[in-house]
A and B are shown apart, each in its own frame.
Chain A
Amino acid sequence: MEFFFEVLIGGLLAGVMYALVAIGFVLIYKASGVFNFAQGAMVLFAALTFVSLLERGVPFALAFLATLASMVVLALLIEKVVLRPLVNRPPIILFMATLGLSYMIEGFAQFLWGAQVHGLDLGIADEPLEIRGMLLSQFDLFAAGTAAALVLALSLLFNKTRVGLSLRAVADDPLAAMAVGILLPRIWALVWAVAGFVGLVAGLLWGARLGVQFSLSLVVLKALPVLIIGGFSSIGGAIVGGLIIGAAEKIAEIYLGPIIGSGIENWVPYVLALLFLLVRPAGLFGERAIERV
């Protein structure tokens, strides 16, 4: 039983990391209805830039700011070059565009900083911590803490500030939002920037976990099922989804793995998400639209 909880909590903590990536998705989907496959690439770009700056002797804080700045620039570029020309196109087109985008960003990041693996040390000792008989990864706890802080910050941003207000307006009804004088492009740019920031944080945590390398951009594949379960349009959903996936994945790995074989963590989340879908076609928190004809 102890062990089970240990696994469970380990999973939940790992799930937080998924949630982190998923949140980036949700932000963009809410604001611009774009299913942003490039989120993973952004994570990679952020982590790679940051770590490369560190390696070139840039102090931590400065590197962080510089990376953040570059993410903002990236966001602005994306808004100008990709989103604006594609406005009012079917979502599937936008999705495919983000596929291309992720290729570009990945290519660019590696072109800039090279493709070799970088270690990233955030100065958190990763020796397990003993809490009431359970061994928990300190790092995971730290990650969970960061994620929690981030979510808190975001919810403040969106619920307390004018920007957040206009964002929610856009999410509800872009046309009405425009009618009351909200500038969509600006909101989009902002949201992509924030998503970039989230990407950065995720990138640091994941980078510290896996080492900063190309495979980081594949975390997007982890985030997908999370989104499916949580629904595309709810930050809370993203977190819950993340936790569920994380836990399920770990448990399956530990208890199912020995039976049917290793390496199942790649697909278990998807099958799980599928099962969810068959029960709730719009995810846990997303609600089903009535089709007007």
Chain B
Amino acid sequence: MLYQEVGQISTSYAAERRTFRLRQDRIALWLLLGFAFVAVPWLGNDYWFSAILVPLLVLSLAGLGLNLLTGYAGQLSLGSAAFMAVGAFAAYNLQLRVPGLPLLVSFALGGVIAALVAVFFGLPSLRIKGFYLLVATLAAQFVVEWVLTRFSWFTNDNASGVITSPPLLIAGLDFSSPRGRYLLTLAVVVALFWLGKNLVRSELGRNWMAVRDMDTAAAVIGIRLLKAKLLAFAISGFYLGVAGSLWAFAYLGTVEPHGFDLSRSFQVLFIIIIGGLGSVLGNVLGAAFIVLFPILLGNLFGLLPSGLMDAGQLENIQKMLFGALIITFLIKEPEGLARLWQRFRQRARVWPLRY
């Protein structure tokens, strides 16, 4: 009922093509961005910044990374965390060994390196499909984890293998404070989401979906499966790599292989299942869910008389609920939270009518 669409006509394809065709959507977007960049830094406190907002943002970025590969190009992957790790360690080592390299540049380069690794492990996707491909990505997960722990060069010969990340200095400004970390993450994530949105609406995005929906037909209309799939792995790898750097630098504050184990890969996968496969917005919703749900649950159990439930039990209950939720989503709403939002929006556009 907020929508007043009358009179919003497009007289050129450029106008008709724009991401947010309706004025109301554009306004809402700008308001949201304004809120995130201006209001939140004032209102939020350190707990919110470092315990909720930063991980939420980074995980949504990681989600987008995996979604490009799995949700759009239809290539199942359980190696997300590996590519995040590659990004993080690459960025760290670039910072360490290339004096004077700007932080953002080393993030980007970290992403590029992650992309290369992803392509390497994506090569089998040309011959194998579906579950068989899982193995390739799992191999990535284990090999990378092993390499990073085995060769101490990556961790700069640090005994514990856990390195504290350098301060976040960009153009002389220090972003190391929780608020700074938040702003830095937000900026990077927003930029990459914008690019991602363009990407999936571009020709490459269509080709990916074509490969996903019906690869024989895709090949018949001249789409190069090889190119499409490898690009999917590369770009997904880049996103995950950058997400990894942010995870290590802006969230953990340390760079360590354990931050990127198999369970992280699962977490990212769950984000896109809950948020919605083949959706950009869904990644944010999914990440928000994954981050907020345990906190909510914790607070709920906090209300119970103490001693009734210890931390371990709480964790188990969380696991069960999580599993249950995953299944429920797959049964009730396979397209995830994003689909729910779309439905609501669609309904709002035609309210009071039904369609």
Contact = CB atoms under 8 A, between A and B. Distances in A.
Interface of A: 35, 81-82, 85-86, 89, 91-93, 95-97, 99-108, 110-111, 114-115, 221, 224-225, 228, 232, 260-261, 263-264, 266-267, 270-271, 273-274, 277-278, 281-283, 291, 293
Interface stretch (B85-93, B159-167, B279-287, B323-331): B323-331
B269 interface: yes
A274 B135 contact: yes
A95 B131 contact: yes
Nearest to A221: B138
20 contacts: A35-B131, A82-B331, A93-B330, A97-B326, A101-B323, A103-B326, A106-B319, A108-B316, A221-B262, A225-B135, A232-B131, A261-B151, A266-B145, A267-B146, A273-B139, A274-B135, A277-B132, A277-B135, A278-B127, A283-B132
A274 B131 contact: no
A93 B333 CA distance: 11
B134 A224 contact: yes
B48 interface: no
Question: Closest 7 A-B residue pairs measured CB to CB?
Answer: A100-B326, A107-B319, A103-B323, A104-B323, A107-B320, A270-B139, A267-B142
B216 A111 contact: no
B334 interface: yes
Contacts of B130: 91-92
A111 B142 contact: no
Interface string B132-149: 101110110011011001
B150 interface: yes
B312 A115 contact: yes
B354 to A, nearest CB: 26
Nearest to B318: A107
Contacts of A100: 322-327, 330
A267 B136 CA distance: 11
B317 A97 contact: no
Interface majority SS (helix, strand, loop, mixed), chain B: helix
B327 A271 contact: no
Given A92-B130, A103-B320, 15 more contacts: A85-B331, A86-B330, A86-B331, A91-B131, A100-B322, A101-B323, A103-B326, A104-B319, A104-B323, A110-B319, A115-B316, A261-B151, A267-B139, A274-B136, A291-B216
Interface of B: 76, 124, 127-128, 130-132, 134-136, 138-139, 142-143, 145-146, 149-151, 216-217, 262, 266, 269-270, 273, 312-313, 316-327, 330-331, 334
B306 to A, nearest CB: 19
Contact of B273 (A35, A91, A96, A282): A96
Given A82-B327, A224-B135, A273-B135, A103 B322 contact: yes
A81 B269 CA distance: 22
Nearest to A35: B131
A260 B327 CA distance: 42
Contacts, number: 126
Contact of A228 (B135, B273, B325, B331): B135
A107 B142 contact: no
A103 B324 CA distance: 8
A107 B330 contact: no
Contacts of B312: 110, 114-115
A283 B129 CA distance: 12
Contacts of B322: 100, 103, 107
Contact of A107 (B135, B143, B323): B323
B345 to A, nearest CB: 25
Contacts of A224: 134-135, 138
Contacts of A115: 312, 316
Given A91-B131, A278-B124, A97 B327 contact: yes
B273 A263 contact: no
A277 B330 contact: no
B317 A107 contact: yes
A263 B326 contact: no
Contact of A263 (B127, B146, B330): B146
Contacts of A225: 135
A270 B142 contact: yes
A264 B324 CA distance: 34
A283 B142 CA distance: 21
B150 A96 contact: no
Give the most central of A89, A91, A224: most B CB within 10 Å. A224
B138 A270 contact: yes
B71 to A, nearest CB: 11
A96 B325 CA distance: 12
Nearest to B129: A281
Contact of B150 (A92, A263, A278): A263
B276 to A, nearest CB: 13
A93 to B, nearest CB: 5
Give the most central of A107, A114, A264, A281: most B CB within 10 Å. A107
Contact of A274 (B139, B319, B321): B139
A234 to B, nearest CB: 15
A267 B326 contact: no
A102 B138 contact: no
Contacts of A99: 266, 269-270, 323, 326
Given A86-B330, A266-B142, A111 B134 contact: no
B293 to A, nearest CB: 13
Contacts of B132: 228, 277, 281-283
